[in-house]
Amino acid sequence: MDPNAPIVRLAGVRLDRGGRTVLRDIDLTVPRGQVVAVLGPSGSGKSTLLAALTGELEPAAGTVEVLGRPVPRRMRDLLELRKGIGVLLQGNGLLTDLSAAENVALPLRTHTKLPRPVIDRLVRMKLHAVGLRAAADAFPRELSGGMARRVALARALALDPPLMLYDEPLTGLDPIASGVVMDLVRRLNDTLGLTSIVVTHHVHETLPVADHAIVIANGGIVFSGTSAQLQASTDPLVRQFLDGQPDGPIPFDAAPRGATVPEAA
């Protein structure tokens, strides 16, 4: 793969779910090595964007390229692609009857033929990178929310994927744990040479570590630029979102049921 090629490229993408168009006219290019924040109100379609990147959702129109090639449809090729993408899910997705170390070891044991001691060493390294080497033998139910999230992060990094996707990584975390996670996102991105896409609505924790930010609302991208540009934006929708205003372009009173989503401004 060309080292200068973007890790992710979406061109003219339209995504439908359940017969409804969730996102349209999406053009996005993510260069290698960046941390990109995908922001937006709840229900705006941010997670749908991630689904398109992992191949869970096929675009109704346009092309989605990940790691230099279009997202395949055939299961075998899709599985190969997924080995190169690490995903941190909102619910962690840790297997409850395996310990933390066994969870992290899972992708290594399934996809590589490395001998047991090597895998154990790698698992310890990954857990150490997220600061949880001491919790290796704990089970998910014994871990706090923040610790479980970090174990899931270590697992997502197990195969050293070039691309990391984070789906709402700060949900349910206290301020300290949030700080830890975002710090890890940035540091791991830089030290391991990853590219990271963080989908979140926690604007103020995410903007300091992001190189680039896009805002999704009303079915499309309403802003794309650096964090500084985002903070200085005068667009009323972006301002309402950043400042947490209860009323504005997204009205306080809910629209009557059956109303259609208005076109992007």
Partner 1 sequence: MSSRAPRIEFAVGAFLLLALASLLVLAIASTNGNFGFGGDRYEVTARFTNLGPLRDNAPVKVGGVTIGQVSDITLDPVKLDSVVTLAIDNRYSDLPADTSAAILTSGLLGESYVGLAPGGDPDPLKDGDEIFLTQPSVDLMQLVGKYMFSGGADNAAGDDAAADPAAPAEGGSDEDLPPYLQ
Partner 2 sequence: MPFVAATRSVGRAGLFTLSVLRASKPTADFLRELVREIYKIGARSLPIIAVGGAFVGLSVTLLGYRALDTYGAANQVSAMLGLGLYRELGPVLTALLFIGRAGSSIAAELGLMRATDQITALGLMAIDPVGKAVAPRFWAAVLCVPLLTAFFCSLAISASYFEAVHVIGVESGVFWQVLKDSVDFGKDFAMAFAKAAVFGAVAALVAAYVGFHAEPTIEGTSVATTKAVVNASLLVLMFNFVMSALLFR
* Binding interface with partner 2 (CB under 8 A): 54, 56, 79-80, 82-83, 85, 87, 89-97, 106-107, 109-111, 152, 155
Residue 137 sits in the site that holds partner 1 (CB under 8 A): yes
Least distance to partner 2, CB of residue 231, Å = 33
Distance in angstroms (rounded) separating the CA atoms of residues 2 and 228? 30
Q: Across the beta sheet with 61-66, what order do the strands follow? A: 20-30, 8-17, 61-66, 69-70
Q: Which is nearer to partner 2, 63 or 110 (CB)?
A: 110
Distance in angstroms (rounded) separating the CA atoms of residues 79 and 143? 30
Residue 99 sits in the site that holds partner 1 (CB under 8 A): yes
Distance in angstroms (rounded) separating the CA atoms of residues 112 and 27? 35
User: Residue 8 binds which one of partner 2, partner 1, none, with CB within 5 to 8 A depending on kind?
Assistant: none
User: Residue 95 binds which one of partner 2, partner 1, none, with CB within 5 to 8 A depending on kind?
Assistant: partner 2
Q: Which is nearer to partner 2, 15 or 50 (CB)?
A: 50
Q: Which is nearer to partner 1, 147 or 221 (CB)?
A: 147
**Which tokens sit at 62?**
């346009």
Residue 200 sits in the site that holds partner 1 (CB under 8 A): no
Which residue, among 47, 22, 44, has the nearest Cα to 165 in the 3D structure? 47
Distance in angstroms (rounded) separating the CA atoms of residues 241 and 261? 17
Residue 102 sits in the site that holds partner 1 (CB under 8 A): yes
